[in-house]
Every structure is written in structure tokens, then in C-alpha cells.
Structure 1
Amino acid sequence: MNSFDSQSELKSGQHSYRIFRLSALEKKGVNLGRLPYSLRILLENLLRQEDGKTVTAEDIEFLAKWQPQAEPSREIAFMPARVLMQDFTGVPAIVDLAAMRDAMKLLGGDPEKINPLQPAELVIDHSVQVDEYGTGNAYEQNAILEFQRNRERYAFLKWGQSAFHNFSAVPPGMGICHQVNLEYLARVVFTREQNGQSVAYPDTLVGTDSHTTMINGLGVLGWGVGGIEAEAAMLGQPVSMLVPQVVGFKLIGKLREGATATDLVLTVTEMLRKLGVVGKFVEFYGAGISELSLADRATIANMAPEYGATCGIFPVDAETLRYLKLTGRPAEQIALVEAYYKEQGLFHTPASPEAEYTQTIALDLATVQPSVAGPKRPQDRVLLSETGASFRKQLPNLLGPNAGKLGERQAVRWEGEGGHASVNGNVQSTHGTPEPGSAHGLQPIPEHATVKERFGVEVDPYLDHGSIVIAAITSCTNTSNPSVMMAAGLLAKKAVEKGLSVPPWVKTSLAPGSRVVSDYYNKAGLMSYLDQLRFNVVGYGCTTCIGNSGPLPGDVSKAIEDHGLVAVSVLSGNRNFEGRINSDVRANYLMSPPLVVAYALAGRIDHDFDNEPLGKDKAGQPVYLKDIWPTQQEVADTVASALTSESFRKEYSTVTLGDTNWQGLRFPTGDVYQWEPDSTYIRKAPYFDGMAATPAPVTDITSARVLAVLGDSVTTDHISPAGSIKQNGPAGKYLTDHGVKPADFNSYGSRRGNHEVMVRGTFANVRLRNKLAPGTEGGVTRLLPEGEQMSIFDASVKYAERGVPLVILAGKEYGSGSSRDWAAKGPKLLGVRAVIAESYERIHRSNLVGMGILPLQFAEGQDVASLGLTGEEVFDFPGLKALLDTKLANGRTLKVKATAPDGKTKEFEAKVRIDTPQEILYYENGGILQYVLRQLAARA
């Protein structure tokens, strides 16, 4: 359909394209200039997808006449151009598609119908772990270990490439999905053949990772969704969404000397979290955006999940075109981007009119100050000058159960050429220290060596609360930004030239987001200096930021455990939630790459950079941070001299080939996957077992027990299995019973394709506090009514044997953090039927619905405490069936009945957070994948 007569022709170079002109709506009295940029992208999507059913003329007109102050109420269907995945979330998505093929066969349909209809691109970036570090061969050793641990998963993905159309994978060791997306995959303008004609339209996407929003910096609209929602999008299902409110963020001025893009994004995150933008779009505008490089914009856009927005987008402008040229995109593609966006009135210039927004907020870039964020949340920004005082204030809340007061911190100085360490005045030669000018850094050392074995230093006396044990330049947020990366390299150069060294107990690592980083570091002559400070490349992927920091040296870990120390990590990442970075580390701080190097040199988080030297130079003079901090001009000159289009063209010309390990990997063939019954990595997903062609009617939930009572800001890291697998936990016992040695457990993320492991790791985070089992940390609950304390998984098994449905009670911002589909899949397999929380993070709420779990929200002003709930009650949800039978037409509140052990009952109203008509269908089918499968089977 084409109700608005919007189809037209666009010529670019030698090619002609069919487009859907936004200007056609002006004939209907629409003022396009008042619409935010992001909504105009959505509007084009609706124009192009109009079919009278999924997208109607009324939908288009409603969006075109968007009212900034209106509460979101109307549902629209968004059809992204493509889907982006990383391997942690991508493997279970492909497992689900493979299981759907089996189920389709049982339903009498054609398994080939289960096939991505939109391009699905997966980048394997989440599986590399920092086992080896601080040596010239750290990358090679970690890459070998990665393939040994993940061979089965990688073979499965290669099968997926051969079995599914429209699915491609970037092999491991090439980079982080968001940086590869920014530098290579993103088209900005998409084209496809339809009815013998080329159609051009904006590049849009959804991704199975929260930080998919990084691409917003390039003017591409996209955001993170759960894996289950992404699978539906791959299979041609539109993303159901409410027309959002849009917050305008005005930037003016220019960053002052000493402030970095990381400081800016931490400031933006703090401001927007305070404002409250969950479920909203954020759009950046104002004269200040012209002062930001594309990489700076991408850094800000990357953190949208941290400030809570669905997206954080910048418009396409001249800087976008410059970046496309820098990153080696074809000239004809760049010309098409310019022609298309100008033709559609989407190309931003200083003369572009300001759009209307739901609300606005402003920031003068000149006011941004050096900052860090921590010790637990990205939005908890602290001025660099106040970090020590802030840590000491937070310390009582961070102490572990074995915490004891150590003696005063002993003096530790690092001085002299070659990294000699002066410990309490006794000079000791650090093991394996490079000779001056060494190109490769430290020499090979034994695998999992202790600090004493590496450096000949007893760490116990020198570790204290606040000691930094991990310093990592990691994550897509900053490794995609040449300015902050060059600043880190220049700081390292000046530090080495002054004779400074990193204390031996600091586990240092450099994990670039693409191989281009190493290329420009080498061209700038900076890699050798980073090596000399032990910031050797450990891998090209997500490492420390997602919990793949690897084990600490044994003696460091023992000292932390013996004394209950609050050890610290510093990282250039975007996430620092409890238990995420490393199970031994209780305080985690986000910061810019140069600050990571600076703190590594300092060795402790409460170092006073203004008044306390980092050490002494070769002449015995004190060296302060200001003495080695590079100027903006130094950074800009180095970037200009070392970063070229040729670097991008060279590195990305072979990005899909992989190394010899990938190329030689053998994999099964066939349209239907041959499941291995003994596999501990890949198991057939159970969601379709016994599924009928039509769903059973929805029934009320009765006689439910509470599995956990949780507080505020419980993240998907607390819920979903993440990080290392503990030997004595349910998942560790399962692997041991299946013949897997603890050394080969790998991480939860790498075993996401095995539901048996994942369900046992759900709610097993070591920092989870379940109020139903007071005084405990980790996945512990009490079995009711007996009151016996046990693991959450073991309790769920007993409840399942009794036929008892389960409920979770929670506080504010339940499910914030990464878009982990297992944060919904795991509870589903545990037997959770409903969650009652004070509020939800956007992605997690939709994931719960997508898995057939009922999300309920306490009425305003009510919570677990105010209602006097203990979690020992039996819960009933009468009226659920009747309410859904009306498609929620009779309201969105449900009466909940809680019966205490003494027989007394309490009744309260909860809001049903099934937010769209499409979500009602998903819930009635038991989940989004079951709905899609039934739809496809019906067409067979």
C-alpha cells in the first residue's frame, strides 16, 4: 500500500533507487521540521512497511502528528533492516532457531521456513578471557585457550552459517561487535532488490546487546533487545513498540584541556539518570555536537543503557560522511548516504531547525571535569579529585564477611630503569622485566603464575582496602575512540620515559575493540611503551568489562580472601555492577583509558593525584600526573599522523576469514542440527517440547510461592548466569557429574547454549541478597513452608515436584543492565510464573513477557515493606484469565491475594505490565517464539 503517494526515485552516481519520501506527508499538513530526527527515521519505516494490517495509514498519520507531551499510548510496528548479535547472546538465539526447526518438523511444517528473513550478523567477541597477561605472547595464549574451551560452540555457529540463509558470523579475535559495527558493518543507508528494483532506506537495527546503541553515534537508529525478541525480528516479526517520548539533550561549548570523552559520557549518564529517561529516546542537538568527533558521539551513544534510554542518537551530518571516508567505506556508498539523507530532509547542518522535544536538558562541554564512576554503578559519577574520599565513605558498605583491619599501608615506591621495584626500601629485580627498548614486554611465565613467581614479591603485606588489582583498557565504549586510546598510549610513553612502573599485583590488560587500534598504536610508536607497563594486548574482544577478567594470581586472591579486603578494579568500560568484573573484587570504577594507566601506576584507588606523586624520575624528582598527562593538541596530532583510511581497509579486508584455528574448524552439515546427547555446551532448547499447534487457554495463577525477595537495582547480572562457574554451586556440580574438570568449566556466557547449566546458574550471582534468606549472599533461598535453607535451583526443583508455581518480589529498576535473555529464560525454567516489582528496566520487562512470565508492578507508593510482605505468603492472582480474555480492555490492574502462614490475607492491586496488544498474543502463546512458530506453521 502507499496511501500517501510517497514512492519516488533517487539517483546517486550511476544508480537509481526507489525511496519513500517523507516530504509526501507535508501535503497532509505535516511539519516535518518539528519532528525529532529519530522519529523521522521511524516515520520512513512505517511509510515503507504500510500494508493496512501491521502498519496502517492511521499509524503513519499518528506518528507524523506526534505530540511531545503525550504519554506513550499507541503501538506501532518497527521493522529493523537487520539484527546484530554477539556470541554470548547469539549462540542461544541460533540454538533456539535450530530447536524451532525440529519443532516445525513435528508440527508438520517445513523446517526451512525457520530462517532469518532480515540479515543477521553475529560477531564472536565475548568468549576471550584474560588468562595470560603482561607478556608478549598473552594474545596468542589467550586465543589458544579460547578455541580449546569454545570449539564446540564455534563449530555450532559455523553450522548455522551454512544452514541458515541471511546469517553471517565474524570470527573470534577480530574485535568487539559494536566497534566492528561502527567501523565496518553499518551501512547508514541500506539497499535491497525488490520486484526488480533497488530500494534505498535508512539502516536500522536491533541487537542482542544493550550497547547496540553505540551505532546511534553514526546516525543509525537501533537499540538492544532480548535475544528472544531479536529472534522474532530475524523471522520477520516487527518489533512492537509504543510511540516514545523524546528528550532533547542540547550540547554547547567545547571540552576543556584535561577533560576526555569518557568524562563527558559519565557526566551525561549521571544527568540523564537523575532526569529519568527509561523507555524514552534521547536525541543530541545544539552547536556543541559539531565539536565532537564521530568517535566521541559513539562513546556517548554507547552508554544509553547506563542512562536508561532506549537510544541516544546523533543526526547524520558532515562529520558522519568524514567518518565513513576515514573508515574506508566505498565512495559510492558515502555518496548515496549524502544524497539520501539530504533528499529526505534528514541531513543536519548548523542551519537546521531545532525539533520539538518532550523535555530538554543542556550541558556546556566546558564544564565537564575529569571523573570516574563507581564503585557499583555507571551513573555514580565522582570527581577525580574526590575519588579517594568517596571510596573511604563507601568502604563500610563494601566490606566482605571476613573483613579485618590491616596495619597502616606500607610504603611502596617504584623507581629506576627497567621497572625495578623498591619495596620498603629493598630493591628487588622484578621477574621478566623487559630490557629498555624491548618491543615485546615481559618474557613468557608459567600459566596462572602467582605474583611471587612473576616478580619475586610477597603481595600480602602490601595489599590493603583500596588496592587496585585489575587495571583494564577494555570495552567498546572507549576502545572505539582513538583520542582516548592515544591519550593512554602517550601517557604510558611519558611514564616509561620518567622511569615509572606498575606495581606487580596489578593485573593489567589491553583488549582493543578492533585490530585497527593495534595498527595505529604501532604507527604512532606507542605499543612498546604500553607493553613496558604490562598493558600488552590480551585479545580483541569484550574481556574485563563483561566479567572475563580471568583469575587473579593465586596469592593476590588468597590475600583478599584471608583479610576480607575490598580490592578494586579500574577499567575503561561501561558496566561495574556488583560481582560482574571479578568475584574477588568488591569495588569497580569506570574511567577513561589514560586514567586506567594512571591508576595502575598509583596502585590504589585513593591516590591523590593533585598532591601525591606517582613516583620519582631517574633524577630522583617527584613525578605527578600533570607531568605525564598529554595535551589535547598532542593527542590530536598523534591521531592525525597515525590513523588513516588504509588502516581500516587493511584490517577489515580479511575480517570474515578468521585465523587458522577458525579456518580449520570442522563442523556438522545439514538443515536440521544433529544434537549431541552428551554435549555440555549445546543442548536442544526445551521451550517447544510438547507444544501443540494452538495454545492452551490462559489460566489464573494460584497457590504460588515466593522464590526470592529482592531489593532495588537488581540487575540482569544478578539474575542471569554470568562470569565464572563456582565448583560447589549447582552448575558446577552438574558439570562435574558430566565429567567436566573445574579447570574446563569456562564461563556461564560460553555455556549459554546449554539450558541445564544456565538454569542452575540463574540467581546464583555471588552478590545477590535474597531477603527471604537474611544474612546470606549468593543464590540462596528458603524452601517453604518448611523454611529449610538451600540453593535457589534446588528449591525450584522441589517446588516443581510439588506442582507449585513461583513468584519473585522486587524493588525499583528490576532487570536493569545488559539485555540478557537468560535473565528471563532462567526464571522461566525455574518455574517462575510472575514477578511483582516497583519498576522495570525496559528490555527485561519485554523479555519476561517474551518468555511467558507475567510482569506486575506495585501501585505507586506501595512496595514489599509498605504492604508488610515477608515472602512467606502464598500468592493467588484471581481474575488474570478474565482480564486477558478482554485483551486488557477492562483495565490493566489485577487483584493479588497474599495469604500469610497464620492464615491472614492481604489484597492489593498491581499493574499488569503487558504493554501492547502484540504482547498479549505473546503471553497467551506462552512466549514470543511459540507465537512465531505457530504463525509460521499455520502458513505451511
Structure 2
Amino acid sequence: MMDSPHQLFDTLQRFTPMGNQPAWFYSLPKLEEAGIGPIAQLPVSIRLVLESVLRNYDDQRITEDDIRTLANWQPQAERTAEIPFVVARILLQDFTGVPVLVDLAAMRSAADRMGHDPSIVEPLVPVDLVVDHSVQVDFSQLDAALRLNMQMEFARNQARYQFLKWGMQAFNGFSVVPPGIGIVHQVNLEYLARGILVKDGVYYPDTLVGTDSHTTMINGLGIVGWGVGGIEAEAGMLGQPIYFLTPDVVGVHLSGMLQPGVTATDLVLRITELLRQAKVVGKFVEFYGEGAANLTVTDRATISNMAPEYGATMGFFPVDEETCRYLLATGRSAEQVNAFRAYFQAQGLFGIPQPGDIAYSEQLELDLTTIEPSVAGPKRPQDRIALSAVKSTFQALLQTPTSQNGYGQSSEALQQTVTVQMSALQSGLEMAGGGKQDPDTIPVGDALQSQHNTATLTEMEMIQNRPTPDRLEASSVETPKQPIELHHGSIVIAAITSCTNTSNPSVMLAAGLLAKKAVEHGLTVAPGVKTSLAPGSRVVTEYLTKTGLQAYLDQLGFQTVGYGCTTCIGNSGPLEPHLEAAITSHDLVVASVLSGNRNFEARVHQSVKANFLMSPPLVIAFALAGRIDIDLSQEPLGTDRRGNPVYLSDIWPSSEEIKSLLQAAYDAATYQRLYRDFARQNPLWSEVPSRTGKVCAWEADSTYIQEPPYFDSFNMAAGTAEDIKGARSLALFGDSVTTDHISPAGAIKPDSPAGLYLQDKGVKPIDFNSYGSRRGNHEVMMRGTFANVRIKNLMVPGTEGGVTVHQPSGEMMTIYDAAMRYQATSTPLVILAGQEYGTGSSRDWAAKGAKLLGVKAVIAQSFERIHRSNLVGMGVLPCQFQSGDSIQSLQLDGSETFDLIGLEAGITPRQDVSLVIHRADGSAQTVPVILRIDTPIEVDYYLHGGILPYVLRQLLA
């Protein structure tokens, strides 16, 4: 029993897990009996948050008023109250997790410099980091691709992995799932998620926040969790509640069942379209009804995963017997699952609600029988296209002006065909150490270990020195050539990738079955298409091999390239250099097809302008066709060995075929074996050396890990609010500028500020790695902020990329160089933007980079939830235009100076402040803006200069 339990409202009660001794829990039914609120009618997701608020009551961080407020949640009430939510655990991936660890290490260094025990900075809840974002598809279409990509990954990321190993020994409760195990969200679903936890004798639900927006995937398992910025996660792991405004909860009533031939991917693309139109940004979404109950956990998880794409904080499915079946099938013990079931039954939270059970803020209807095969693209995941309309939609977009989000191609250009003498990748890569392997010599699930130490240094040198588009002429490497034809709409990347779909056996088995039928019909993937398979966990390889389907995927070029996010986050690796050179020189609108969740411009590959999301079997189908401008409902994919046309319907697997194989995907012993003893299963990780000690030994010459400057002038005094005067605009942006545009990601160009910095440090361009891998070095990251090749600064019309105009000189230069020149004259900076500023992944560097460049405020028409919060967490003011004001209506061009007035008298949440615009002709105009500091705790964060200084002062005090 816990040492000092509170007995507020007599809610600490006993329940009996099946087969266990009686245990304690904080009872929501007892809270309702005490007359605190109509709790049984609350949305299930709200009740689970309420349990955390009740259990963590201490009359300091969490008060009785907090409990009463949430217990009396009203569907239509104005949202002004903030909820202090203490989560059970924190989830990180490596791109966001490494900078989180860097910040914690910096806090320890600051505490040490001030004479305090650095161990005062310690995670107070369990923290799991899964390394899944670092593997790139350098090699594909080879049986050795997995080995080669893994060796490249470890060669590139040795410094980062050494740092992570230091963190494992320095901090208690900080664990790392090493590379090659799986994608963070699928590993969370299959292994890390506990469903229910116990501490000091008290049982409570598993809850979490994660530093990736797709943390919501766990909502499919009935677990409350969502994505936050790394800054918020740091506060959460250091004992601070996660504060958020009491949300609206949108109920989505699902009825009916999916029709044969329709996949969970088709369903989620329709839901994404529906909920984007319903404007659920910042809201909880809860699915209920018979249709929801009929979905498998993996189908639910596919829907929950896409919550960031439809804009919701969560996409939640309550717990039911299907949840219990999934937990058992994936290796959780019967005792654990029995306790899980008994707990939720005792709380009155077991079972999918039916219509009328709960009062929601808004209710939407979706009949699953209406779902049809679809894709989404070419630039946003909510832009769903029926499969039969893909060809006509793409052809229309080709001629649509760029100002209307088209490609602006002339009718003459549409007929353009380019012949490329492409290197024969297969033979060329075999010479570089690829080669074929006998699959019988590799034990299933142990591929990493079996392939260890078989590549030599000579092979790695050959790999790293292969030709790239910028040095084709200088290359002396002779490889066989094969001519291929490219045109607008040619597919150059086809990737089965990401946690969204590879967690779902029904669509993965469908892909394998389609591959089998395609091979049997004599079909092959079109030349020039870079194919890859990046499962979300090794379990996928296990059941695809067990069913014999992996062999057919291999024959089509969909060999496993790694267990990580790969293409979906931009780690698609290089295209064949002659191919990429032709695309660039002829300005071809070529396409990628992927089973991921993100398709923003320049995300998948900088040379690929059109990107389409779809189910894994459709990825293979389009790869066979080789082009996106095809109507797969009517046109053949290709021809068989006799020259007869083969249609999609000829090779599409039936529901019965898929169901007959599903049992192979759910073997508890397999899950238990593959998620045991990671170090033994990955020798490359075991060989990474690590340092010891409580305080990080920062290396001045490291280009991967540097101590950030957030605590350079740290003292115990908080700051005061001051008006911003004489600010210049660093950039003016239009609508839907995403964190993919803002945050450094993907390849580092040699002539970019970050590339020049690295070369100055002695790093050759071949060794640049990616921005994501260097997120522990603020010098690289601040230089890459706003440097995306597709970002459009309205101050420089007609251009793309991270450029701006410095004022008053009028010189055009990179955003980084302009920011440094403004810093030299102590000129404050602002960013002005349109609607949905900051949509996208929860990338803390989109806020950190702006802060380090000297941005004091961002003024936009609207913000994405996580990015707005991250800006406050870094001490940057988010402000929102009122009364329909915009960059266009105010006729701003970047020549103005700005004052932000109304801060010095004191800050309150969402107060009105004034933006004074001083124009170049001497005139001035004042417009009202809303200060988007939304909660009282955010006021404190801002005054302290951000969450990190606030938390450190709390700890040291």
C-alpha cells in the first residue's frame, strides 16, 4: 500500500483483479457517488484524464477545484480552464529524443556549475526512447539491403548512439530500444504499452505523451496519449503536469462494416478527409458504436495514428474485449490482461459506448459500408482521391496554376518524355557488397545478427563514394546502363513504410498476397521505381516469412531495407543519379507512392513533387504500373507472359484469403521472443562504446552533440514582460506552412549555411548525414531553420527556399545570414504567417530554431496546437490576427517595422495586444492581435524564458 494516500471524497477503493489479491485504485464511480459530477455521462477519454487528476491530487500542483472542474465537463462550454495532466510515462524517438537528452544534460551542467548536485535533474516517470528515425534507404532491391543500411546507419550515427548510451547510465528510468527493432509507435503498441500500471499498491491506467505527433496510435488500444513538443516532454518527465485547455470532444459514430476489397487505409483516408472538414483541430475525437466495436485493434490503431493528419489531439477508442484479445496475442501475460480487464470494469470504463450513452460536443456519422478504395495527395494527407479518379485528378493538377496548388505545366510540357540511361542498380549494388543470399541460412527474426560483420570497410568505402547527381561527370565508376522513359507522373519511389500501416497485419498480408499473384501473372515492377519495405517491427518479417509471402515481395524488389520510419520521414535515400539529374534538369513532376501518413512537399524526397498515400497493396500495384496517371479501376497494370492485360482486380486478394493467414500474425511467443534482450539481438548496438558519469563531458569538436546556450546566463530570477519595439520581419509566409517547412529535416546541402558550417569544421559533404541526425547540435539546426527548399517567403516573390530580404539594406540573402546581421544590431525579429501555421510533426526545433535566430514573436491567422505550445515553451510569443486581418489585407511586404504593445502592464492568457505597423513611407497603422498564451502556466513559462529555465528554477529552489 502507498505510504501517504489521499482519501479525497473517499475515492481510494479496493478491487479484485482476477486471480490476484485485492488491490487499490482511485474510483471514478465513487467520485460520482460523492456528488462531484455526472461522471458516467462523460466521454471515456475525459474520464481517464480525470482519473489522473484525482489520483495525483496534492493541493499544490493539482487542487480540488481541478477535480471538480473536469468532473463537471460540459459538452458546449467555453474552454477556459486548464487541466494539469500527470502522465504515467514518456515516449521518445531518436530525432526528438536526442535533443531532449541534450537539454537534460545541459540542465545538469547548469546545476553543477551553480554548485548543486546534478542528480537533482532526473526523470520522475519512466522514459522510453526508440531509435527508429536514423535508418535511410541507401540500398534497396537487394537481399543484403537490411545489412548495408544498418551498417551505414551505425557508421553515420556513432556519436549520437554513444551519447544515448551515456544517458542510459546517467539517468534512472531512461531506457533505449536500439536501432533495428521497429518504429516507435508500433513498438509502443506491441511491447511498451502496459494498459495498466501499479505503484505503491495502487493500480492506474497507462497514459503517456510522446515527442512524435503520431503517439496517438496508442489511442487504438484505449490508452490516453498524444504528441507534444520535446520541450513539454522534458517538463513532464521532470514532474511537471502537462497543461492543456479542457477540450471539446467530438463523437464519431461508426456503423456498418467495411466492404470486401476495402482496406483500413481506405477507411482512415476517408476519416482524415471527414474530420479535417469538421475542423477538429485541438479537440479530442472519440469513436463509438457498433462499427467501432467491429474493428480490430490494429484497424483502430491505424485510425488513431492519423489523428495529427485530421488535426485532433487524440483519436480515441475505449477499451473492450477486443483490446484484451490483442494484448494476449502480442505477448502480454494472462495475469496482466486479467488485471487490465478487472480494473476497467471496476471503473465502469469497459466496452465501446453506444449511441445515447455519452453527451459529446459534436457528433458525426460514418457508415463503413460507404468507404471506397482511395489514395491521398499529392501534397496533403486530407486530400483524398477515389482510386478511379487518381488519373484525372493528377492530370488536372498538372495544368492548374501553382498559385492554386497545382504544378503550372503547359499543355506542351504534358507530352514531354525524357529517356534516361540509368545505371543498372542491381548489378552495380551487388558489386558494392549487395549480392543475393540464401534465405534458408538466415533464421527468421534474427537477420540483423546473422548479417553482422559480413560487410568490410572496403565495401563501406565503395558505398560512400558512389556517384551522386552533383558529381556524375567526375565519376570514373562504370556501371551498366539501361534506358528508361520518364514523364510527368512517372513513379520513382514506391515504399511500404511507416507505423500507420505496417502495424496492421490485414494490409501487410494483402500486400504479400498481391505480390504473389503479380509474380504468378508474370508482372514486374516498372524500371526506374525505387522500391522498399520498411516494416514497423520484426514481427512483420516473421509472419510474412512464415506465410511464404516475403519471397514474392522480394521478387518484386520489396526486400526489407530496415526497421524504421525511412521514406515517411524523408529518409528515402538517394535516387539513381542519372534519374535524379533528368528529373531536375527537365523539371519533371514525378511521383512517390507510400503507405505512410505524411506527404508534404519535399518531405519524401526533394526532387519528387507529387506524393501519394495509400494502402500497402496499392503501393505495389502502382509500382507495377510505374505511373500515377493511370485509372487502376479500368486500365491494366501490365501484361502477363503471354501478352494478355492484367488488371488490378485480377491480383487483388479476397477477404477470405487474408483472413486465412491472419492467425500467423498473432503468436504471443513470437512477440515475447523478438522483444527480449535487445542487446544480444543487435551486436552493432552492443559494440557502441559509452561514457560514464552524472554530467556530460561535452566535446568542443563534436559536430553531432553540443551544449545548447539556453542556460548561458542563467540565474534564479525570472524575467518580466516587455513590449517589442522596432522589430523587422524575418519572413512573411502564406497558409499551411508546416513544421516540415520550418524545422531542419532531410539532406544538408553543401552550399547551405549548415553545409558551410560543417565543412568549416572539417566534415566532407559525403559525411553530412541528415539534419535529423544532427539535432543535438544547435549550430547546425539554427542554420537549417526555415531552409526547406520548398518554403516560400512572400518577401521574395517567385522564389523558393530559405531566403529573405534584409532591411533596410534591401539585400537578398539566406534567412540565417539575415538573422545574424539583425542580431549584430540588436534588432528584434518577427515572423508573420497565414492560417494553420506550424501544422505537422511535433518538432521542437521549429520553435528552438526560431528562438535562436532571434524571433521574438510569430503573428499568424491561426496556429497548430503543438507548435503554438512549443513557441511559448521557448519564450517566443505566438499572436493571432483578429477581424479577418492578414498579410494580404494589411498589404505587408517586409519593408515595415513592427511594435507589439500591451505586454508591459502584465500578461494574462489570450489578452488583446496591439501590433503597430510602421511603413516605409512613414505612415503607421495599429491592428489588434490576440496573445496566444492560452493558460496561466504558459504565462509563467514565458516570463521565465521558457519551460526549461522555469523547471530548473523550480528544481533548484
What's the TM-score bracket when you normalise by the shorter of the two chains? over 0.9
Residue 897 of structure 1 is matched in structure 2 by: 916
Residue identity opposite 1:47 in structure 2: L
Match among 713, 725, 734 for residue 736 of structure 2: 713
Alignment of 1:207-286 (within 5 A): 207-286=210-289
> Any stretches of 5+ residues in structure 2 without a counterpart?
1-5, 428-432, 448-453, 470-476
How far is the alpha carbon of 1:242 from its aligned partner? 1.1
How far is the alpha carbon of 1:432 from its aligned partner? 10
Residue 173 of structure 1 is matched in structure 2 by: 180
Match among 140, 144, 150 for residue 137 of structure 1: 144
TM-score by length of 2: 0.92
The 2-side partners of 1:454 and 1:264 are apart by: 44
Residue 20 of structure 2 is matched in structure 1 by: 14
Residue 739 of structure 1 is matched in structure 2 by: 762
- Deviates most, 597-606 or 353-362: 353-362
Q: 1:433 to 1:253 in 2, by over 3 A?
A: farther
Residue 913 of structure 1 is matched in structure 2 by: 932
Match among 143, 149, 156 for residue 156 of structure 2: 149
Give SS of 2:168's match: helix
Q: Deviations over 1:80-118 (max 9, x none)?
A: 000000000000000000000011122332210101001
Residue 60 of structure 2 is matched in structure 1 by: 53
How far is the alpha carbon of 1:51 from its aligned partner? 1.4
Residue 428 of structure 1 is matched in structure 2 by: none
Residue identity opposite 2:413 in structure 1: K
Q: Deviations over 1:502-537 (max 9, x none)?
A: 122000000000000000000000111101100010
> Is the aligned partner of 1:787 residue 2:810?
yes
Give SS of 2:858's match: strand
- Deviates most, 341-350 or 654-663: 654-663
Contact 2:143 2:436 (8 Å CA) reproduced:
no
Match among 912, 916, 933 for residue 952 of structure 2: 933
Give SS of 1:882's match: coil
Contact 1:781 1:791 (8 Å CA) reproduced:
yes
Contact 2:505 2:665 (8 Å CA) reproduced:
no
- Taking only aligned residues, the RMSD between alpha carbons, in angstroms, comes to 2.5
Q: Deviations over 1:168-205 (max 9, x none)?
A: 00000000000000000001111122xxxx11101000
Contact 1:83 1:234 (8 Å CA) reproduced:
yes
How far is the alpha carbon of 1:642 from its aligned partner? 5.0
Residue 635 of structure 1 is matched in structure 2 by: 658
Q: 1:404 to 1:227 in 2, by over 3 A?
A: farther
How far is the alpha carbon of 1:436 from its aligned partner? 13
The 2-side partners of 1:342 and 1:352 are apart by: 20
Give SS of 1:97's match: helix
> Is the aligned partner of 1:754 residue 2:777?
yes
Alignment of 1:10-159 (within 5 A): 10-12=15-17, 13-29=19-35, 30-159=37-166
Give SS of 1:15's match: coil
Residue 186 of structure 1 is matched in structure 2 by: 193
> Is the aligned partner of 1:205 residue 2:208?
yes
Contact 2:253 2:366 (8 Å CA) reproduced:
yes
Give SS of 1:520's match: helix
How far is the alpha carbon of 1:684 from its aligned partner? 0.3
The 2-side partners of 1:14 and 1:904 are apart by: 76
Residue 415 of structure 1 is matched in structure 2 by: none
Q: 1:879 to 1:247 in 2, by over 3 A?
A: same
Residue 450 of structure 2 is matched in structure 1 by: none
How far is the alpha carbon of 1:439 from its aligned partner? 10
The 2-side partners of 1:373 and 1:649 are apart by: 36
How far is the alpha carbon of 1:878 from its aligned partner? 2.1
Residue identity opposite 2:8 in structure 1: S
How far is the alpha carbon of 1:339 from its aligned partner? 0.6
The 1-side partners of 2:54 and 2:676 are apart by: 36
Q: Deviations over 1:560-601 (max 9, x none)?
A: 011100110000000000111101100100000000000000
- Deviates most, 907-916 or 353-362: 353-362
Residue 416 of structure 1 is matched in structure 2 by: none
How far is the alpha carbon of 1:646 from its aligned partner? 2.2
The 2-side partners of 1:676 and 1:407 are apart by: 56
How far is the alpha carbon of 1:862 from its aligned partner? 1.3
Give SS of 1:569's match: strand
Alignment of 1:513-528 (within 5 A): 513-528=536-551
How far is the alpha carbon of 1:410 from its aligned partner? 8.9
The 1-side partners of 2:253 and 2:408 are apart by: 43
Residue identity opposite 1:322 in structure 2: R
Q: Deviations over 1:208-240 (max 9, x none)?
A: 000000000000000000000000000000001
Give SS of 1:309's match: coil
How far is the alpha carbon of 1:16 from its aligned partner? 3.5
The 1-side partners of 2:62 and 2:211 are apart by: 25
Residue 425 of structure 1 is matched in structure 2 by: none
- Deviates most, 689-698 or 550-559: 689-698
> Is the aligned partner of 1:646 residue 2:669?
yes
Contact 1:223 1:311 (8 Å CA) reproduced:
yes
Q: Deviations over 1:398-446 (max 9, x none)?
A: 548999827465999xxxxxx999xxxxxxxxx99989999999x9997
Residue identity opposite 1:881 in structure 2: E
How far is the alpha carbon of 1:33 from its aligned partner? 2.4
Q: 1:373 to 1:408 in 2, by over 3 A?
A: same
Alignment of 1:260-409 (within 5 A): 260-348=263-351, 354-396=357-399, 397=402, 398-399=406-407, 405=413, 407=415
How far is the alpha carbon of 1:267 from its aligned partner? 0.2
Contact 1:174 1:514 (8 Å CA) reproduced:
yes
The 2-side partners of 1:223 and 1:432 are apart by: 40
Match among 856, 867, 882 for residue 905 of structure 2: 882
How far is the alpha carbon of 1:19 from its aligned partner? 0.5
Residue identity opposite 2:69 in structure 1: F
The 1-side partners of 2:850 and 2:746 are apart by: 18
> Is the aligned partner of 1:501 residue 2:527?
no
Residue identity opposite 2:184 in structure 1: C
The 2-side partners of 1:420 and 1:734 are apart by: 36
Residue 850 of structure 1 is matched in structure 2 by: 873
The 2-side partners of 1:654 and 1:164 are apart by: 20
Contact 2:679 2:685 (8 Å CA) reproduced:
no
Give SS of 1:284's match: strand
In percent, how many aligned pairs have the same letter? 57
How far is the alpha carbon of 1:776 from its aligned partner? 1.1
Q: 1:599 to 1:434 in 2, by over 3 A?
A: farther
Q: 1:909 to 1:642 in 2, by over 3 A?
A: closer
Contact 1:439 1:531 (8 Å CA) reproduced:
no
Match among 472, 481, 490 for residue 456 of structure 1: 481
Q: 1:829 to 1:497 in 2, by over 3 A?
A: same
Q: 1:371 to 1:385 in 2, by over 3 A?
A: same
The 2-side partners of 1:200 and 1:404 are apart by: 68
Q: 1:761 to 1:528 in 2, by over 3 A?
A: same
The 2-side partners of 1:570 and 1:73 are apart by: 43
Q: 1:437 to 1:519 in 2, by over 3 A?
A: closer
> Any stretches of 5+ residues in structure 1 without a counterpart?
413-418, 422-430
Residue 472 of structure 2 is matched in structure 1 by: none
Q: 1:829 to 1:420 in 2, by over 3 A?
A: closer
The 1-side partners of 2:467 and 2:556 are apart by: 18
The 1-side partners of 2:529 and 2:859 are apart by: 42
How far is the alpha carbon of 1:913 from its aligned partner? 0.3
Q: Deviations over 1:427-476 (max 9, x none)?
A: xxxx99989999999x99974579998773123xx101110000000000
- Deviates most, 130-139 or 617-626: 617-626
The 2-side partners of 1:409 and 1:399 are apart by: 17
The 1-side partners of 2:414 and 2:84 are apart by: 59
The 1-side partners of 2:39 and 2:153 are apart by: 51
- Deviates most, 59-68 or 299-308: 59-68
Give SS of 1:19's match: strand
The 2-side partners of 1:185 and 1:642 are apart by: 18
Q: Deviations over 1:870-895 (max 9, x none)?
A: 221111112212132xx45xx71001
Contact 1:402 1:562 (8 Å CA) reproduced:
no
Residue 698 of structure 1 is matched in structure 2 by: 721
The 2-side partners of 1:767 and 1:790 are apart by: 16
Give SS of 1:881's match: coil
